[in-house]
Structure 1
Amino acid sequence: MNSYDVAIIGSGPGGYVAAIRCAQLGMKTAIIEKYPVLGGTCLNVGCIPSKALLDSSHHYEDAVKHFEEHGIEIPGDIKVNLKQMIDRKQSVVDQTTGGIDYLMKKNNIEVYQGVGSFKDATHVVIKGEKETEIEAKNIIIATGSKPSSLPFINIDKERIITSTEALKLTEIPKHLIVIGGGVIGLELGQVYKRLGAEVSVIEYMDRIIPTMDAGLSKELSKVLKKQKFSINTSHRVKSVERKGKEVIVKADNKKGEEVTFKGDYCLVSVGRRPYTDGLNAEAAGVKLNDRGQVEVNEHLQTNVSNIYAIGDVVKGAMLAHKASEEGTLVAEVIAGQKPHIDYNLIPGVVYTWPEVASVGKTEEQLKEAGVAYKAGQFPMRALGRSRASMDLDGFVKILADKNTDEILGVHMIGARAADMIAEAVVAMEYRASAEDISRMSHAHPTFAEATKEAALAATEDRALHI
């Protein structure tokens, strides 16, 4: 029987990063993956393929709507080749997952293909083409999550689909009904809207992206409506039925009136649930909570001292970069180091266009906590860079402590917000004040100048360009 210092069950951004860091720290490491390809949800059916399709559809939309204004004339009709778009997406996925294979070999990490199942606290049985058993001093659970549904919905994976199927459709929907106005639903909704689909979003809460700052929700909703999305908030879905090639969704609006939506595809995007199927956690004595999450302490250690859990299978935001940070932390804890993660400074991003990004506290959270704060906001349309690229929608908002000026939250919507948020994370990691950012030189012309201007606005309301 092969024996290891660490065995990791799951090879997503949490698992494979944990494996690399363990190997770097001199531990003999194994990683177990149920699918033939490494990378988990993020690389195979999540972050990477969705961004590939978002970029492809963005290019198409630019060609149809904006090239002429830029002085670019294309003779003849511009057509979508959906098969090529999906094939390119897959090639991006293949390159990325192939990179993980390389990193495993480079770091001498043993890869096992099959379902990892606990025999006891130090032994894992791997059920693949053949059954293998390994022993490990420490085990990290990194089994991730799966799309959630509603109990009355029958997901047939043909017309009533999850994000996994939405990434490989063979035709552009005529009318895509999206149940759920969160990150995944809006991103995939925008892909197919750009390609010509009618898109209706149905959201139970009173606003889309309900976990983010309300100002971002309001602005994104305004932009999407301008893009001809149908946004239906405060709607409770009560039935989803398929009749041939038609899907009929019935929901009650906030007045209690029944509303019917008819489309040819329905994307169920109501969140994700922790995935522990086949793990046999009870054999190792590992406790799960009533939400199916693995219970852990601040060191991500379970109730069994040599077993840890990270990523979507534990509490907190289901984000690839959060899982990676946790994978690094656990590796270093096992090695006897004293790492830390500030969960308040894990940024969240929505990769629609304009992009939405956020870190720290929202205005609603600060009000609820009774924190005295000040806000500075700057519109993207006031930037020369925005006018040059025709990306005029959005703003940057900085929330700072009213007394100390320490930055408490940064919320932005606009072109390249996903990249711009990193400045805010760095500033908040070092407990910078709004004035600190306002006094830093930002290259001109850039989208990032909006962050400096928002900091100026939060500092005695002295933004320069509005």
Structure 2
Amino acid sequence: MSAYDVVIIGGGPGGYNAAIRAGQLGLKVACVEGRETLGGTCLNVGCMPSKALLHASELYEAALGTEFATLGIEVKPTLNLAQMMKQKNDSVTALTKGIEFLFRKHKVEWIKGWGRLDGVGRVVVALADGSQQELQAKNVVIATGSEPTPLPGVDIDNKRILDSTGALSLPEVPKHLVVIGAGVIGLELGSVWRRLGTEVTVVEYLDRICPGLDEEVGKTLQRSLSKQGMAFRLGSKVTSAKVKAESVELSIEPASGGEAQVLQADYVLVAIGRRPFTEGLGLESVGVVPDRRGMLENNHHAAAVPGIWIIGDVTSGPMLAHKAEDEAIACIERIAGKAAEVNYGVIPNVIYTKPEVASVGKTEEQLKAEGRLYKVGKFPFTANSRAKINHEAEGFVKVLADERSDEILGVHMVGPSVSEMVGEYCVAMEFAASAEDIALICHPHPTRSEALRQAAMGVEGWIMQA
């Protein structure tokens, strides 16, 4: 039986980052992952391939529509969907191979198989050849991630009724795609196919899109996506789906109750969220019990059972790759005897639609519910010179600061490249900066980032560019 300081079950962003950090700290470490490639959902069938298609589809639409023509570039593009999918797959392969290289560099052993707990300090791995390998570990990190949440009455076959994985690899451009769920995954993938020529209808149970978003940002995003041609049916629920030869027939009812309607589509994407993946993990062998939401509870990443650690999507907090990475680092450093902490109040959130959405910290709705007094600074991209020159002046930056101390409490943006700019405010909030601190920092001109400064100026009412 092989013995390790740390065995990590799962090779996604939580697991592979935990393995690399353990290797850096000199721990003997193994990562158990049954996929043919490392990287988990994020690299293989999630974040990375979706970004490849978002980028490609944005360029295609820019060339196909008026954007290129306005710039004086006259082309007649032809969509080669097979090549678009190939470049996506090639990029993903390069990234997953990169993790294999990092494992070798930091002396991480990748055990290719599916792991389960077999009592405290023991992991049994089912290998591809049908045999089993037993591992002994002083510490076991559970980093098994999440899976798409199923919808009763709508059976996913990844032929006509798709989960996010199926929607990333369609062999044709759908005529009509119905997306069930107006969350991040549904809006991003719906955006891809709409740009490629699909009629897209989004059905959402709630009366708004992306319920965790700042309400003003959510409304702005919905208006923009509607203007681009995406149709929304909010306050609606799908009760059944019947697959026919080349179509799907959906039964849709008002969420509050009422008469059902039939909606026809040639493909349906079920994107109502994700749930922790804990099936077959042998949790009962160590006495770890999921809570009512299926989450595994932890205290500073440690389970109640000594030697068992929990990170990423299987536990509480936002299901985000960078949150899992932060937890991975903190968890391994705690195992190594170091002090480590994750600041859950400063984990950014991004939606990679066009315009993009990025946020960090509290929303206005949360601050109101807490009874906390705050000030608002808001600056539109229509007044930002770089955004106007680039014909991408949709959206705004909004800064929320404490009324008395001026400490930045939350920042919410919708607009061009905001995913790349929110990091400035993450740094500011980690250092408990005030809005005035950002307002007094020189930003390069002309850049979109000037909007960050102008919004901070707006907290005290001295915006200079609008």
- Pairwise TM-score range, normalised by the shorter structure: over 0.9
- The equivalent of 2:64 in structure 1 is 64
Q: Which residue of 1 aligns with 2:449?
A: 448
User: What residue in structure 2 maps to residue 13 of structure 1?
Assistant: 13
- Letter matched to residue 279 of structure 1: L
CA deviation map 1:40-95 (0-9, x unaligned): 00000000000000001011011112111111122xx4211111000100001000
Q: CA deviation at 1:428?
A: 0.6
Following the alignment from structure 2 to structure 1, what is the Cα–Cα distance between the partners of residues 120 and 246? 49
Q: 1:254 to 1:296 in 2, by over 3 A?
A: closer
Q: Residue 240 of structure 2 aligns to a residue in which SS?
A: strand
Whole-angstrom distance in 2 between the partners of 1:197 and 1:142: 36
Q: How does 1:154-233 map to 2 (within 5 A)?
A: 154-233=155-234
Q: How far apart, CA to CA, are the structure 2 residues paired with 1:240 and 1:364?
A: 36
1:276 to 278, 289, 301: 278
Please tell me the residue identity of whatever aligns with 1:293. Answer: M
Q: CA deviation at 1:257?
A: 4.2
Aligned to 2:400: 399
Structure 1 position 121 matched with structure 2 position 146: no
Normalised by the length of structure 2, the TM-score is 0.98
Provide the rounded CA distance (Å) in 1 between the counterparts of 2:250 and 2:376.
Answer: 41
Measured against aligned partners, the alpha-carbon deviations of 1:127-155 in whole angstroms (never above 9, x if no partner) come to: 01221111010000000000012122111
What's the CA shift for 1:290?
1.7
Conserved? CA contact 1:121–1:285, under 8 Å: no
Alignment of 1:373-412 (within 5 A): 373-412=374-413
Report if the CA contact (8 A) 2:154-2:239 is conserved: no
Quick one: which amino acid aligns to residue 183 of structure 2? Answer: G
Q: CA deviation at 1:343?
A: 0.4
> Does the aligned pair in 1 maintain the 2:152–2:239 contact within 8 Å?
no
Q: Percent identity?
A: 49
Shift of 1:258: 2.9
Other-structure match for 1:93: 92
Match of 2:265 in 1: 263
2:62 aligned partner, one-letter code: D
Aligned to 1:114, the other structure's residue is in SS state strand
- 2:255 and 2:188 map into 1 onto residues whose CA distance is 25
- Verify the 8 A CA contact 1:287 1:303 in the aligned structure 2: no
The residue type equivalent to 2:114 in the other structure is V
Alignment of 1:2-41 (within 5 A): 2-41=2-41
Does the aligned pair in 2 maintain the 1:115–1:278 contact within 8 Å? no
Q: Give the paired residue count.
A: 462
Q: Secondary structure, in 3 states, of the residue corresponding to 2:70?
A: coil
Would the aligned equivalents of 1:16 and 1:39 in 2 still touch at CA under 8 Å?
yes
Distance in 1 of aligned mates of 2:261 and 2:209: 18
Could you tell me how far 1:119 is from its partner in structure 2? 1.2
Amino acid at match of 1:110: E
CA contact (8 A) 1:147 1:269 kept: yes
Mean CA deviation greater in 116-125 or 231-240: 231-240
Alignment of 1:50-61 (within 5 A): 50-61=50-61
Tell me the alpha carbon deviations over residues 181-225 of structure 1, each in whole angstroms, 9 at most, x when there is no partner. Answer: 000000000000000000000111111111110011100001001
What is the Cα deviation at residue 277 of structure 1?
Answer: 1.4
Contact kept in structure 2, 1:359 and 1:421, CA below 8 Å = yes
| Structure 2: runs of 5 or more not aligned | none
- 2 CA distance for matches of 1:170 and 1:138? 44
Amino acid at match of 2:95: T
Residue of structure 2 equivalent to 1:135: 136
CA distance in 2, matches of 1:359, 1:261: 37
Normalised by the length of structure 1, the TM-score is 0.98
**Residue 249 of structure 1: how far off its partner (Å):** 1.8
Task: In structure 1, give the amino acid aligned to 2:87.
Answer: R
Does the CA contact (< 8 Å) of 2:205 and 2:255 recur in 1? no
RMSD in angstroms over aligned alpha carbons? 1.0
Shift of 1:254: 5.7
Any idea what the Cα deviations from partners look like across 1:77-135, whole Å, max 9, x if unmatched? 42111110001000010000000000001111111011101111111110012211110
1:452 is matched by which residue type in structure 2?
Answer: R
CA distance in 1, matches of 2:157, 2:409: 44
Point out where structure 1 has 5 or more consecutive residues left out of the alignment: none
Residues 253, 259 of structure 1: 8 Å contact kept? no
1:224-373 to structure 2, matched below 5 A, reads: 224-253=225-254, 256-297=258-299, 299-373=300-374
For residues 350-378 of structure 1, what are the alpha-carbon distances to aligned partners after superposition, in whole Å with 9 as ceiling and x for unaligned?
A: 00011100000000000000001111111
Distance in 1 (alpha carbons) for counterparts of 2:261 and 2:340: 51
> 1:260: Cα distance to partner?
2.8
